[in-house]
Amino acid sequence: MIKSVVFDLGGVLVPEARDTINSGVADFIGKTSHELSSRTSDLSQRVHRGELSLRDYYEMSLARLAITGISPEDVVAKHLELYDKTSLNMNPEILELIERLRTNDYKVAAATNTEKEIYKLSSRRGYYELFDYNFISVEMGMAKPQYQFFGKMLDELGSRPRETVFIDDFVDNTQRACEVGINGLLYENFTKLQIDLRALEVKID
Residue 173 domain-assigned (yes or no): yes
Q: Are residues 110 and 55 in the same domain?
A: no
Task: Write the CATH number for 93.
Answer: 3.40.50.1000
pLDDT level of residue 26 (50, 70, 90 thresholds) = very high
Give the SS3 label for residue 33.
Answer: helix
Look at residue 88 in the predicted model and tell me its pLDDT. 84
Q: Are residues 77 and 94 in the same domain?
A: no
| Cβ partners under 8 Å of residue 107, min gap 6 | 3, 4, 5, 132, 133, 157, 159
Query: How many structural domains is the chain composed of?
Result: 2
Look at residue 41 in the predicted model and tell me its pLDDT. 87
Q: Are residues 26 and 9 in the same domain?
A: no
Compute the mean pLDDT over every residue in the chain, rounded to the nearest whole number. Answer: 96
pLDDT level of residue 118 (50, 70, 90 thresholds) = very high
CA atoms within 13 A on the CB side of 147: 3
Residue 205 domain-assigned (yes or no): no
Look at residue 103 in the predicted model and tell me its pLDDT. 96
* Domain coverage including residue 46: 18-86
Q: Which residue has the higher pLDDT, 76 or 88?
A: 76
Do the beta carbons of residue 166 and residue 149 sit within 8 Å? no
Q: 41-68: per-residue pLDDT in tens?
A: 899 999 999 999 999 999 999 999 999 9
Report the greatest alpha carbon distance in the chain. Answer: 58
Burial annotation 23-58 (CB, 10 A radius, 16+ → b, else e): ebbbebbebeeeebbeebeebbbebbbbebbbbbbb
Q: Are residues 47 and 124 in the same domain?
A: no
What percentage of residues in the chain have a pLDDT greater than 90? 96
Look at residue 5 in the predicted model and tell me its pLDDT. 98
Task: Write the CATH number for 66.
Answer: 1.10.150
Domain boundary among 57, 86, 115: 86
Q: Are residues 113 and 187 in the same domain?
A: yes
What percentage of residues in the chain have a pLDDT greater than 70? 100
pTM score, whole prediction: 0.95
Q: Are residues 127 and 96 in the same domain?
A: yes
